[in-house]
Every structure is written in structure tokens, then in C-alpha cells.
């Protein structure tokens, strides 16, 4: 009998917890030591007595972050008859309804939407499973679709990678913007150009340490902004994802393998495309150079080809 147990994601779960907790605790500790030094002086200002309170608040936020992530990602074990979520066990026959895709409210320090699965049981109990918390969330979704919704045996056939050779002779329509006139492109090349000009106009032979710092920062800045600048191609049978600067990276999806395309935005990111395949694997592609008109034109073309598009931001 097939049994699936969730695995917490090494970066999106453990990495987020580690970074957020260390950052908040570090900031709280810095503020605490600073406030101790200030309060040891004679006649500190009244407002300076509030600094330890802010330090305590940061520690509480760190604890809240840790608690929220842990609470929202219980270990899940699933077999043909039951699903165990944390310490609670439910029978699959008692499931009334399932939403396998969609945004669910992730309650942390603030509440924000996250892609997930909602399971409603006959007694009114509702459980939400968040995709990013687990590295194998697609297996859970696929199992629920096969066994609970379709009443079939579980069959985990992953969708195979598609070679560039498949699109060599395809007539491709491109949906892209100009990176040099977009906000992300101006931010990328403008800052790099400014620092390059300042560096070589001030020093004919810049110090080695400064060159190393500039090279490291420039590389980070380039990679970060380039990741935010994808664009898309569409043929009769394929959706193609390309990148303005990482021109060698091409991801190809067969339209028949796509369950849903989602237009979304996260925090300060540009508009993004999330592609969810029939095996419930999903990938997010920020595309900061596309204008709204281009996004909507692509949406119309995808829908005419039978692809479901969920527009959450345009």
C-alpha cells in the first residue's frame, strides 16, 4: 500500500525560519545592548526608556514567526484509507470537498496569500496545506486527485522534460518587453553603470579590495534583477519561458501538460507567471519587463488554446 509522508522544504521552510528568526533576534539583541549603554548615562531622555520594549517586541516577533511556520506545516501522512495531519487522523471517505489549487490565507506575523490545498471534511473541519512548506506537496495533491476525486489507484508519472529540439521548427509568438525601458532594467543597468563610472573616474588603478567588493555586489545585483526579467513564447503546442539575460536558460511546457497558469505578484516582486502542471508541480517566473497589455494579450491566446488562466494581479 502506497504511503506518502511530507518533507518540509529545506529553503522555503527551514531557510525562511532561520533567516527571519536570526534577523529579528539579531536586531533585537543589537537594540537591547544599545539601550543598556544609553540608559547607563546620566539623565537619559524619557523616550530612550522605550528601547528595551522595542527589543522585546522583536524577540516576540521572532517567536511568532517560528510558531506560525511550524503550526502551518504539520507533518502529513497519507495512505489509501486515511490522512494524518499533525496529531489528527481523518478517513479519506469523510472528505466532502477538495480545492487542490488556489491562494489560501497563510497566517504569520501578517496574513498573506500562499498557494495551497484546502480539504473540507463532512463534520465541517477544514484543513489547509501550503505548497511552499513542503518539498513534495505535488505528491500529496496528485494522490488526493487520483484516490479521492477520481477514485483511481495512485500513479505518480512525472511529466518529462522537453528538449529544445521539439520547438526548433515551431512558429513562435513572443511576449516580452524592453528591459532597458523597464523599471527592473533601469535599476539593474543604471546602478551598475553609475558605480562603474564612479569607480573608474575617481581611480585610474582602483584598489583590489574595492574591485572585489564591486565585482561581488555587481554579480549579486545582476543575478537578482535578471531573475526578475523572464519573458514568454507561445507556439501551437508549447509555452516557452526565456530570460532576457540568462539567454541560455529555456524552459518548455507542453500546453497539454499544463493544469493552470496563474498571474500573481508577491510583496515587492513584479508581476509573475506561475505554471502548474498536471502532476501539480509548479514554478514561479517573475517577468518585470512585460506591460499589462502584453500580459492580457498572452492570457487571451492561452485561453483560446484551452489553458486555464487565473488572473490575480492584472
> Domain limits of the chain?
1-156, 164-177+229-311, 183-227
Instruction: Give the global pTM.
Output: 0.86
Q: Greatest CA span in the chain, whole angstroms?
A: 79
Higher pLDDT pick, 182 / 94 = 94
Confidence of residue 167 (pLDDT cuts 50, 70, 90): confident
Q: Which residues contact 104 (CB under 8 A, 6 or more apart)?
A: 113, 114, 115, 116, 117, 118, 128, 130
**285 pLDDT more than 90:** yes
What is the four-CA torsion angle of 176, 179, 185, 186, rounded to 10 degrees?
Answer: -130
Residue 34 to residue 246: CA distance in whole angstroms:
44
CATH class held by domain 164-177+229-311:
mainly beta
Q: Contact, 187 vs 225, CB < 8 A?
A: yes
Confidence of residue 48 (pLDDT cuts 50, 70, 90): low
**100 pLDDT more than 80:** yes
Confidence of residue 96 (pLDDT cuts 50, 70, 90): very high
**49 pLDDT more than 90:** no
Which of the residue ranges 51-60, 176-185, 245-254 would you say has the lowest mean pLDDT?
51-60
Within 10 Å of residue 228's Cβ, how many Cβ atoms? 23
Instruction: Using DSSP, state whether 170 is helix, strand or coil.
Output: coil
**239 pLDDT more than 90:** yes
**284 pLDDT more than 80:** yes
Amino acid at each position: 500500500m502506497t504511503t506518502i509522508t511530507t518533507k518540509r522544504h529545506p529553503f522555503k521552510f527551514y531557510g525562511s525560519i532561520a533567516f527571519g528568526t536570526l534577523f529579528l533576534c539579531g536586531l533585537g539583541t543589537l537594540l537591547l545592548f544599545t539601550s543598556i549603554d544609553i540608559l547607563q548615562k546620566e539623565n537619559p531622555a524619557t523616550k530612550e526608556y522605550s528601547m528595551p520594549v522595542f527589543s522585546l517586541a522583536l524577540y516576540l516577533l521572532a517567536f511568532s514567526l517560528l510558531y506560525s511556520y511550524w503550526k502551518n506545516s504539520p507533518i502529513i501522512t497519507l495512505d489509501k484509507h486515511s490522512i494524518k495531519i499533525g496529531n489528527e487522523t481523518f478517513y479519506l471517505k469523510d472528505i466532502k470537498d477538495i480545492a487542490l489549487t488556489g491562494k489560501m490565507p497563510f497566517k504569520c506575523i501578517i496574513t498573506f496569500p500562499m498557494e495551497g490545498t484546502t480539504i473540507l471534511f463532512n463534520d465541517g473541519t477544514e484543513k489547509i496545506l501550503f505548497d511552499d512548506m513542503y518539498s513534495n506537496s505535488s505528491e500529496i495533491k496528485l494522490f488526493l486527485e487520483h484516490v479521492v476525486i477520481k477514485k483511481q489507484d495512485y500513479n505518480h508519472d512525472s511529466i518529462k522534460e522537453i528538449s529544445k529540439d521539439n520547438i526548433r521548427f515551431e512558429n513562435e509568438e513572443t511576449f516580452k518587453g524592453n528591459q532597458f525601458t523597464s523599471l527592473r532594467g533601469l535599476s539593474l543597468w543604471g546602478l551598475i553603470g553609475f558605480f562603474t563610472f564612479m569607480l573608474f573616474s575617481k581611480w585610474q588603478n582602483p584598489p583590489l579590495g574595492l574591485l572585489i567588493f564591486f565585482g561581488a555586489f555587481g554579480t549579486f545585483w545582476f543575478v537578482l534583477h535578471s531573475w526578475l526579467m523572464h519573458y514568454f513564447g507561445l507556439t501551437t503546442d508549447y509555452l516557452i519561458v526565456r530570460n532576457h539575460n540568462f539567454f541560455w536558460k529555456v524552459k518548455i511546457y507542453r500546453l497539454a501538460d499544463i493544469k493552470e497558469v496563474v498571474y500573481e505578484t508577491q510583496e515587492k516582486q513584479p508581476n509573475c507567471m506561475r505554471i502548474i502542471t498536471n502532476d501539480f508541480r509548479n514554478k514561479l517566473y517573475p517577468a518585470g519587463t512585460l506591460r499589462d497589455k502584453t500580459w492580457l494579450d498572452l492570457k487571451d491566446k492561452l485561453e483560446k488554446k484551452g489553458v486555464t488562466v487565473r488572473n490575480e494581479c492584472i
